[in-house]
Amino acid sequence: MHNYFEGWYFKCQDKDKTLALIPARHRFQGKTTCSLQVITDEKAFFIPLPWERLTFDKGNFTVRFGENQLGQQGIRLNLEGDGCRISGALDFGRFSPIASPIMGPFRLVPFLQCRHDVFSMSHRVTGEITVNGKVYAFSKGRGYIEGDRGRSFPPHYAWTHCFFPGGSLMACAAEIRPFGFTGVLGLIHFQGKEYRLATYLGAKAVTVQDGELVIRQGNWELRCTREAPAGHLLRAPEIGAMRRLIRESPSCEAFYSFRVKGQTVFSFATSQASFEFEYP
């Protein structure tokens, strides 16, 4: 079987805390391994898992390993590894799905290094998870879920997600191999509307440098600016092996704006943005 990876990103955030969980399975040189990455505001952990115990129920959108599960109904965890002891339960409200697959026609293109999915732009999160004795309690929390699959993360990419009053947004730009161009994706759910920016709709990344990502599509412009240093070290797939190191800020200072026909739809500064910026 070919080298590959598949992972799911579960972000849970309240007004003063962020917890992200990434269950994944990966295959390199004929060996399958699995893992759970735990990301808090303070630190990140990588917990190896027995490969034969991790399953993904696509129909019910649930990742299971032993008695642990992450999915449409919520999260149930009780395990330890890599100096991390995590336990507890979170319940999810109804997902806010996107109108159609984010990859659009590119989901049919062969040989792409990585394929992206967005499962919920926003949903309610309640409950408690304890990480090394620290309780992460969510009473009016919000959640976001996405996924990636393929062989490797792009060599250069930028990604961000942020909740804001009345909305949720994600945006990314990446070097697309083997085709050699910069592809972009962006989704905004705001006041009951979905705005989509994508290469297949004519969007282009006009700026991807120094922590700033600017995407233009016709008379739309989305600007995302990280205003904090790079964050925690995470592991990422490289030809199926989790041997690449990247940095993610799960909750950092940033500025966002979205303009349509020169008019500002929203602009805001936040201290709870999630960012990865893997450009030189």
Angle at CA 147, nearest 5°, toward 141 and 149?
Answer: 165
Q: Are strands 220-226 and 241-260 parallel, antiparallel or unpaired?
A: antiparallel
Q: What is the pLDDT of residue 280?
A: 82
For the chain, 280 residues long, the average pLDDT of each consecutive 10-residue run is 92 97 95 96 95 87 95 97 97 98 92 95 99 97 98 97 98 90 97 98 98 98 94 96 97 98 98 95
Q: What pLDDT is attached to residue 57?
A: 94
pLDDT value at residue 180: 82
Query: β-strands 157-164, 17-28: how paired?
Result: unpaired
Token couple for 274: 């999630």
Q: Read off the pTM.
A: 0.97
Q: Residue 1's pLDDT is what?
A: 56
CB of 261 closer than 8 Å to CB of 249: no
pLDDT of residue 100: 97
| pLDDT given at position 2 | 87
Sign of CA dihedral 101, 95, 277, 263: positive
